[in-house]
């Protein structure tokens, strides 16, 4: 496990954006390699995506059309809802980063022909046997990651599923789609991006290996990196 601490949230976002460009570029040293990247939502992630887009002109070593974009979780709301993680992310990235639409895989939205559980099954089928090179995760003050919450069936169930529908979420909206911890843990690298003093206690517990928290139960097969700002690192 590696812990990287930055001064404030803006510095944290810039650090992660720089490291992400660098890591993708290294993976693409193999000219046939298509990088599998799992994205997260949230305020600090959106700051990072803005940095990634703003810095695109300074770093042309990444072939973004050789990156497959997936999501770790999604609010099960209408496609046009501003609450959708995918909508927020793509609005920030697509202005300057050339994405291949065939390699962008948002989770299903509410209002289609599928209900919540059917939508989760659809995404699992789309994902298939793909496993991520890098899986980005945020963390809530309660230690949740993706839409896997402590003391909630989404965390307590022993599952072989890769994607599940989450109902009665402690955080609105109540219905969500989420990757499960087993599939997250099959990622080569898991990066947790955490900012804010309200998350310091959960971050310290998770880094110390408290598996009562979803954030303490996730790890990469090869590497786990915690990116913290000074406030989130205060209890370490």
Tell me whether residue 236 is in a domain: no
Over residues 136-156, the pLDDT tens digits come to: 999 999 999 999 999 888 787
Tell me whether residue 126 is in a domain: yes
Angle 43-54/9-27 helices, nearest 10 degrees?
60
Tell me whether residue 166 is in a domain: yes
Tell me whether residue 56 is in a domain: yes
Tell me whether residue 18 is in a domain: yes
Which residues make Cβ contacts (< 8 Å) with residue 59, sequence separation at least 6?
Answer: 21, 25
Tell me whether residue 134 is in a domain: yes
Over residues 86-112, mean pLDDT: 93
β-pairing, 2-6 vs 223-229, is: parallel
Residue-number span of the structural domain to which 173 is assigned:
1-231
DSSP character at residue 110: B
More reliable by pLDDT, 68 or 153: 68
Over residues 143-192, the pLDDT tens digits come to: 999 999 998 887 876 678 999 999 999 999 999 999 999 999 999 999 99
pTM of the model: 0.96
For position 12, which CATH number holds? 3.40.50.1360
Instruction: Give the C-alpha separation, 83 to 207, whole Å.
Output: 29
Number of domains present in the structure of the chain: 1
The answer to whether residues 56 and 97 touch, using CB atoms and an 8 Å cutoff, is yes
Tell me whether residue 69 is in a domain: yes
Cis status of the peptide bond prior to 222, with omega within 30 of 0 = no
């Amino acid at each position: 496990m590696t812990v990287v601490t930055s001064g404030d949230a803006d510095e944290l976002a810039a650090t992660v954006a720089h490291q992400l460009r660098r890591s993708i570029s290294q993976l693409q040293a193999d000219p046939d390699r298509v990088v599998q990247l799992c994205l997260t939502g949230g305020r600090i992630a959106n700051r990072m995506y803005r940095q990634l887009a703003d810095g695109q002109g300074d770093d042309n070593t990444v072939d973004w059309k050789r990156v497959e974009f997936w999501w770790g979780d999604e609010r099960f709301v209408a496609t046009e809802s501003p609450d959708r993680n995918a909508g927020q992310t793509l609005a920030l990235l697509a202005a300057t980063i050339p994405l291949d639409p065939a390699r962008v895989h948002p989770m299903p939205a509410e209002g289609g022909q599928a209900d919540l559980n059917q939508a989760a099954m659809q995404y699992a089928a789309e994902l298939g046997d793909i496993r991520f090179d890098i899986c980005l995760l945020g963390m809530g003050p309660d230690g949740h990651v993706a839409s896997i919450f402590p003391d909630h069936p989404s965390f307590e169930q022993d599952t072989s599923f890769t994607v599940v529908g989450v109902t009665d979420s402690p955080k609105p909206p109540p219905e969500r789609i989420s990757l499960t911890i087993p599939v997250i843990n099959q990622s080569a690298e898991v990066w947790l991006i955490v900012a804010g003093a309200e998350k310091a206690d959960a971050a310290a517990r998770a880094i110390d290996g408290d598996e009562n928290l979803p954030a303490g139960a996730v790890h990469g097969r090869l590497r786990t990196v915690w990116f913290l700002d000074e406030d989130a690192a205060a209890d370490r």
